[in-house]
Structure 1
Amino acid sequence: MYEPNGKFKEPRCFPSNPDLVVVDSESIAQAPVRYLVAGIGDAMSTYYEARCCFENEKATNMVGARPTLTALALGELCCKILFESGIKAREAVLKQQVTPDLEKVIEANTLLSGVGFESGGLACAHAIAQGLTASKHIEKNFMHGEMVAAGFV
């Protein structure tokens, strides 16, 4: 959750996951490419943060449990898809076209990254992103995924 001024306040967990997530690929293709790229920046960290948490015997995931092998595998698949299809998906959005590569990246950005981070855990990339929101200039001008990507790098 964020404060009204955009500064990161706290993570918010709910008692259950959504029953259904619907993503309109056509809407994604019509949106500014910056949104897709920011999503890729956030999703790209999934595997690396899950791996850090998995290898750290004291780390826990979003529900306070140890990171799972499944989360690590989902994060790795997410990363693989983004490396293989990310640039082509960006090109598709620039042309406002839905393509198989865009569909793969949408799935990686939502399903694989979502489940991967929740069960795998967060590490430095998200911590840096949260800290960056303390700067009014950064908070106002950069998206969450862009800040996570900066933390990832």
Structure 2
Amino acid sequence: MSKSKLDIIDKVLEACYKYNPDALFVMSLMHQYEERGSLSKKQLEGLLAKASKVPDMPANWLATLEATIHKMHTRAKDPATAGKPLFEKDEALGDKMEAILQKYPAHKRVVFLFEKYNRNEVMSPLEKTEIEKFHKLLIR
């Protein structure tokens, strides 16, 4: 940080420390500020909360600290969304297979595809058109 620029954060930290020298939170922030040269947005918000309780804290320091906080970027996490299921049963297709099996219970290909359908396996477009074709031919 440049020497010519006023370091409001340091001044606020010192004022908070003078007001309550036993405050562990303020001491921790002072140590971290000396080590890294900066504080996170959450830490600065906590410092602002502590500093606003100090009776003789200059209002312009608080305003500058608040402006510094508002300038900082806020990382917003997207809320977790419930994903859609990987497989959705095609009820119309199942009904068509059941209708075919009602009339022709020994139809091997439809029995095979119906078992696949009941195991929630993904059916290829070719298999779906096959069922449509069987339904059109056998059920009228």
Q: TM-score, normalised by structure 1?
A: 0.28
Query: Between Structure 1 and Structure 2, whose CA radius of gyration is higher?
Result: 2
- Greater relative contact order structure (CA < 8 Å, 6+ sep): 1
